[in-house]
Amino acid sequence: MTTRLAGKKCVITGGGGGIGSAAGKLFCDEGAEVVLLDLDEDALAEAATNIISDSPNANVTTIAASIVLEDDATKAMQEAADRMGGLDVLVNNAGIRKFTHLTEATPESWQDIISVNLLGTANCAKAAMPFLRESDKGAIVNVSSVYGVIGRKNMGQYDATKAAINSMTRTLAHEEAEHGVRVNCVCPGGTLTPFHKARFAADGMDQADIDAIQADATLMKRWAEVEEIAYPILWLASDEASFITGTILMADGGKSAK
């Protein structure tokens, strides 16, 4: 075990999901105390059980909550800070997707995705900020997407929320520098999570079909493993990134460089 996050008190939203649970495991392995926060209680329980079974000394607990409403996000951050005796790191990772052409997007689906991806991220940042300001070395890592930076068809609502998260990252970095809180963002490219595997299996796709999706999409010609996104999140959360704020870090296998 190394100790790149030794003593850090961390909340990871979307901690029951693919990237969030991988970040949770890595954070624990690096000495952090971790609260996984997620809407999905079963996914949370599975993520925490897996982390503890791999790393019996892991200091991980869970909070089942939605980040959509400010009151709920505020209660969850307060509970996490009470439990850990403060808060040093917030990873804003929870997110949902919509697979719709913009001309077919409904007001309800816009409200839905903006509520989670954009307002949920803003709610958690606002609720966590008093605790992060009290930390000597507070840090937020937002999880955006390569498609917050480059364009494509079919997921315009999602991509718009991710571009907004990039913008919010820069603004918060400006506003919080004087309070000692760094705010950065990781933009993953296609990352093969259980969510994607289930979606592709439902569509009857085999591994060759899945591999083919990324064959020409990135310079590295493959999907990312969840750990390959968790490591940049870890680094931005750690003191190794102490002079880094307002950065949008591409973790996309070179997709945005094409």
Ligand X SMILES: NC(=O)c1ccc[n+]([C@@H]2O[C@H](COP(=O)([O-])OP(=O)(O)OC[C@H]3O[C@@H](n4cnc5c(N)ncnc54)[C@H](O)[C@@H]3O)[C@@H](O)[C@H]2O)c1
What amino acid occupies position 106?
Answer: T
Binding letters toward ligand X, positions 190-229, x by CB under 6 A: xx-x-x----------------------------------
8 A C-beta contact, residue 95 and residue 144? no
- Decide: is 38 part of the binding site for ligand X (CB under 6 A): yes
Per the annotation, the verdict on 158 as an active-site residue is yes
Q: Residue 140 belongs to what H/E stretch?
A: strand 139-143
What does the alpha-carbon distance between residue 32 and residue 122 come to, in Å, rounded to a whole number? 24
Binding letters toward ligand X, positions 40-79, x by CB under 6 A: x--x----------------------xxx-----------
CB of 137 to ligand X, least distance (A): 24
Residue with tokens 């990039």: 166
Which is nearer to ligand X, 184 or 193 (by Cβ)? 193
Which member of 32, 36, 94, 127 binds ligand X (CB under 6 A)?
A: 94
Nearest to 114 by CA among 97, 136, 127, 100: 97
**Which two tokens mark 38?**
């997620």
Which is nearer to ligand X, 63 or 241 (by Cβ)? 63
| Residues present in the chain in total | 258
Choose the catalytic residue: 158, 162, 190, 233: 158
- Decide: is 93 part of the binding site for ligand X (CB under 6 A): yes
Which is nearer to ligand X, 116 or 125 (by Cβ)? 116
Q: Which residue is nearest to ligand X (CB)?
A: 17
Which member of 17, 24, 138, 253 binds ligand X (CB under 6 A)?
A: 17
What does the alpha-carbon distance between residue 197 and residue 210 come to, in Å, rounded to a whole number? 9
Cα angle at 54 between 28 and 63, to 5 degrees?
A: 50
Which member of 5, 10, 11, 20 binds ligand X (CB under 6 A)?
A: 20
Q: Which of residues 133-172 bind ligand X (CB under 6 A)?
A: 143, 145
Number of C-beta neighbours around residue 232 at 10 A: 20
- Decide: is 129 part of the binding site for ligand X (CB under 6 A): no
Number of H helices, E strands in the chain: 9, 7
The residues near 54 (Cβ < 8 Å, ≥ 6 apart) are 25
CB of 70 to ligand X, least distance (A): 12
Residue with tokens 């403060």: 86
Q: Quick one: DSSP state of residue 171?
A: H
**Which two tokens mark 66?**
């939605």
Give the interface size with ligand X as a residue count (CB under 6 A): 27
- Decide: is 232 part of the binding site for ligand X (CB under 6 A): no
Which is nearer to ligand X, 32 or 37 (by Cβ)? 37
Query: Which residues are part of the catalytic machinery?
Result: 158
Residues of the shown chain interacting with ligand X in the complex, contacts defined by CB under 6 A: 13-14, 16-20, 38-40, 43, 66-68, 93-96, 116, 120, 143, 145, 188, 190-191, 193, 195
